Chains A and B, each alone.
Chain A
Amino acid sequence: MFRFVLSRLVLLVIGLVVASALIFFTLRLLTGDVAQVIAGTQGTAAQVAAIRTQLGLDRPLPVQYLDWLAGMLHGDLGTSLVTGSSVSSQLLQKLTVTLPLAGMSLVIGLLVGIPLGVVAAVRNRRPEGTALSVVAQALAAVPAVWGGMILIAVFAVALKLLPTQGYPSDGWAEPGRALRSLLLPALTIGIIEGAVILRFTRSATLGALDEDYVRTAAAKGMTRTRAVLTHGLPNVLLSVVSVLGVQMAALLVGAVLVEQLFALPGVGRMLVADVGVRDLTKVQGELLALTGLVLILGFIVDLVHRAVDPRLREPGE
């Protein structure tokens, strides 16, 4: 186990370094220049050059890259080229919207997906099981943006139950309002995500129903449902956990789109805006933080999975 953890840790670090290089150098291919944006449409070439020097953008790229890496070793993601404020503080502020959104979506997804997935499997080939599968298939195919629009049309416009768009400007100072603002966006991602989790849980449960221990338990007089719930569920949950690692990326994509639709001041919208003005220091900090988050979660999921499920060990390791 120790060797495994160590090797995964080394891979994680390599992963972060490679990701940082990929992000840094890809971004340098973008046309346009933040100095030009600051100088504005009246900016002369000399003015733009002066701003570039001031921001340190005239240094060779490898030097800028190493400088950035060195800063990160101290936990410093850099400062915005446009506003001069720290990237990490901006990111933390936006995460107070995006993380609760992702969290709520995930909770909704799990609450919808796991129980209904088990039901769909246990009631397989019966009307209710088939109906659940069909609905899940259909919902999983809904584009998040459209799903959100329908929810807005129904809950905000027609029923006037929830706000259509926006977020209270003092954020969590008014928890009730903040939650209400996040509810429709979280439902949008959560329902679609829930449909995916449902389909997955259903398959995993169907697999478990075929396993020997469930059959044995059923043979001993337990109902199949009880047998699955008592013996099969831990394994089903384990597989769901392993999938959540992969789903994190999907959740983030959902967040970018849904923040745009619901005008939420989260990381996704900030990212879109920062790419727009070529605030590359900020963009690279944000991208690395997001990628790093997914990589680290993947790492943790791997470890958990490994610790709980010894079957995963490869021969010869």
Chain B
Amino acid sequence: MTKHSWAQELLRRPAGVAAAAWIVLLVVAAVVSSVWTPHDPFDTDPYSAWQTPSLNHLFGTDGIGRDIFSYVFAATRTTVVVAALAGVLASLVGIGLAALGSLTARWVRESTAVLIDILIAFPTILIAMLLSSILGGSLGVVITAVGIGYGVNIARVSRGEIRRVGRTDYVLAARASGVGSAGVLGRHILPNVAPVFVVQLSLAMATSILAEAGLSYLGYGASASTASWGRLLNDLQVYIAIHPGSVVWPGAAITLTVLAFNLLGDALRDATDPRLRARRATSEAIA
């Protein structure tokens, strides 16, 4: 199946189109916010704290008088960077582990399987907490933690798929004719499991956004000098009883974006390969 037909299939699905549109909008916002925001997102003015939404402050202001709209807007950059890099890293880790766990000698396969099981037992958030305590909190830590954490999930899901493809006649034939593991992986297996990865990539991005928000909320994520939806949630949390309205914005931004990546993942799955619907169960469980 070619990329062209995926795209066409995708465009026939309204949820997929809406999701893709939201993500495009997000990327545009990320680019625009690096040159322009209505107010400086880091500009504080404690004397005009907790203003209600107005034309000047679309989402109102927070406890130190920051413009919430500008801050949420500027934080799209963080979100886009984290989603993109964490997604790529997770895919690399996932493909690597899955290949190790399916195409190699039995003892390597078994050890990889054990390693995957152990790593899955380690909640991503704990990996990130440890990394950020060692290295200091930063987006790099979040990206690494989600990359490893979700990569392991991808590996678990894809292991079976790779193994299945690895047992098909044409791969066995290729092996018999002397093509090495790397060759088999590159030429036969990856193209065939690509649809699974594309879907997983999308879900990994959704997870990375939730993880970034959670970690920044706990104070283990983005540094204070980086705008982040999770950190804004943390800042606003104690005021939930007095100013409940203000937490709506960062929360809705996170939810919509995660939703968009999930929907895109689903739409891609449907678009790429109807056969995959049967396996939908496994990947959804992890998403």
**Do A and B touch directly, given a CB cutoff of 8 Å in the complex?**
yes
Residues of A whose CB lies within 8 Å of any CB of B are 11, 14-15, 18-19, 22, 26-27, 29-31, 137-138, 140-146, 149-150, 152-153, 156-157, 164, 196, 199-200, 203-204, 206-207, 239, 243, 246-247, 249-250, 252-253, 256-257, 260-261, 271-272, 275, 287, 290-292, 294-295, 298
- For A249, what are the chain B residues with a Cβ–Cβ distance below 8 Å? 120-123
A291 touches B118 (CB 8 A): yes
Q: Which residue of A lies closest to B286 (CB)?
A: A246
- For B130, what are the chain A residues with a Cβ–Cβ distance below 8 Å? 26-27, 30, 275
Q: Which residue of B lies closest to A291 (CB)?
A: B121
**Do A152 and B240 form a contact, CB below 8 Å, given A137-B259, A146-B254, A260-B218?**
yes
Cα A217 to Cα B173 in complex, Å, equals 42
Cα A72 to Cα B251 in complex, Å, equals 43
- Secondary structure of the B contact surface, majority rule: helix
B240 touches A149 (CB 8 A): yes
- For A292, what are the chain B residues with a Cβ–Cβ distance below 8 Å? 121
Q: Which residue of B lies closest to A27 (CB)?
A: B130
B286 touches A30 (CB 8 A): no
**Do A203 and B114 form a contact, CB below 8 Å, given A145-B214, A149-B251?**
no
B96 in the interface (beta carbon within 8 A): no
The 9 closest A-B pairs by CB, nearest first: A146-B251, A294-B121, A243-B285, A141-B258, A141-B259, A153-B244, A253-B123, A291-B121, A253-B125
- For A243, what are the chain B residues with a Cβ–Cβ distance below 8 Å? 281-282, 285
Q: How far is the CB of B247 from chain A (nearest CB, A)?
A: 5
| 16 further interface pairs, Cβ-Cβ under 8 Å (given A141-B258, A203-B281) | A11-B110, A11-B113, A15-B114, A15-B117, A18-B115, A31-B134, A145-B213, A146-B247, A149-B244, A149-B251, A203-B284, A249-B123, A275-B130, A287-B126, A291-B121, A298-B120
Cα A27 to Cα B129 in complex, Å, equals 11
- For B284, what are the chain A residues with a Cβ–Cβ distance below 8 Å? 196, 199-200, 203
B52 in the interface (beta carbon within 8 A): no
Cα A298 to Cα B134 in complex, Å, equals 29
A143 touches B124 (CB 8 A): no
- For A253, what are the chain B residues with a Cβ–Cβ distance below 8 Å? 123-125, 214
B194 in the interface (beta carbon within 8 A): no
- Can you offer 17 A-B residue contacts whose CB atoms are under 8 A? A31-B134, A137-B263, A145-B214, A145-B233, A149-B247, A152-B241, A157-B244, A196-B285, A203-B280, A250-B123, A253-B214, A256-B218, A257-B125, A271-B126, A290-B126, A291-B118, A294-B120
Cα A152 to Cα B240 in complex, Å, equals 8
Cα A145 to Cα B237 in complex, Å, equals 9
Cα A295 to Cα B115 in complex, Å, equals 11
Q: How far is the CB of A204 from chain B (nearest CB, A)?
A: 5
- Mark interface residues in B249-264 (1 if CB within 8 Å of A CB, else 0): 0110011101100110
A143 touches B233 (CB 8 A): yes
A138 touches B255 (CB 8 A): yes
- For A26, what are the chain B residues with a Cβ–Cβ distance below 8 Å? 130, 134
B254 touches A143 (CB 8 A): yes
A246 touches B120 (CB 8 A): yes
Q: How far is the CB of A130 from chain B (nearest CB, A)?
A: 10
Cα A200 to Cα B279 in complex, Å, equals 11
- For A260, what are the chain B residues with a Cβ–Cβ distance below 8 Å? 217-218
**Do A141 and B125 form a contact, CB below 8 Å, given A11-B117, A18-B114, A164-B241?**
no
Cα A139 to Cα B262 in complex, Å, equals 11
Q: Which residue of A lies closest to B260 (CB)?
A: A141
- The one of A11, A19, A29, A199 that contacts B134, using a Cβ cutoff of 8 Å: A29
**Do A145 and B217 form a contact, CB below 8 Å, given A18-B115, A196-B284?**
yes
Cα A153 to Cα B206 in complex, Å, equals 26
B133 in the interface (beta carbon within 8 A): yes
- Between B130, B230, B262, the greatest number of chain A beta carbons within 10 A of the residue's beta carbon is seen for B130
B179 in the interface (beta carbon within 8 A): no
- For A138, what are the chain B residues with a Cβ–Cβ distance below 8 Å? 255, 259
- For B256, what are the chain A residues with a Cβ–Cβ distance below 8 Å? 141
Q: How far is the CB of B130 from chain A (nearest CB, A)?
A: 6
B278 in the interface (beta carbon within 8 A): yes
B287 in the interface (beta carbon within 8 A): yes
B89 in the interface (beta carbon within 8 A): no
- For A18, what are the chain B residues with a Cβ–Cβ distance below 8 Å? 114-115, 118
Within 8 A of A (CB), among B123-169: 123-126, 129-130, 133-134, 153, 156
Cα A231 to Cα B52 in complex, Å, equals 56
B210 in the interface (beta carbon within 8 A): yes
A144 touches B214 (CB 8 A): yes
Cα A199 to Cα B266 in complex, Å, equals 11
Cα A27 to Cα B130 in complex, Å, equals 7
- The one of B121, B129, B213, B254 that contacts A298, using a Cβ cutoff of 8 Å: B121
- For B206, what are the chain A residues with a Cβ–Cβ distance below 8 Å? 141
Within 8 A of A (CB), among B90-130: 110, 113-115, 117-118, 120-126, 129-130
B133 touches A30 (CB 8 A): yes
Cα A88 to Cα B172 in complex, Å, equals 52
Cα A27 to Cα B133 in complex, Å, equals 9
A261 touches B237 (CB 8 A): yes
- For B123, what are the chain A residues with a Cβ–Cβ distance below 8 Å? 249-250, 252-253, 256, 290
Q: How far is the CB of B283 from chain A (nearest CB, A)?
A: 10
- For B126, what are the chain A residues with a Cβ–Cβ distance below 8 Å? 256, 271, 287, 290
- The one of B247, B280, B287 that contacts A140, using a Cβ cutoff of 8 Å: B287
Cα A22 to Cα B117 in complex, Å, equals 13
A142 touches B255 (CB 8 A): yes
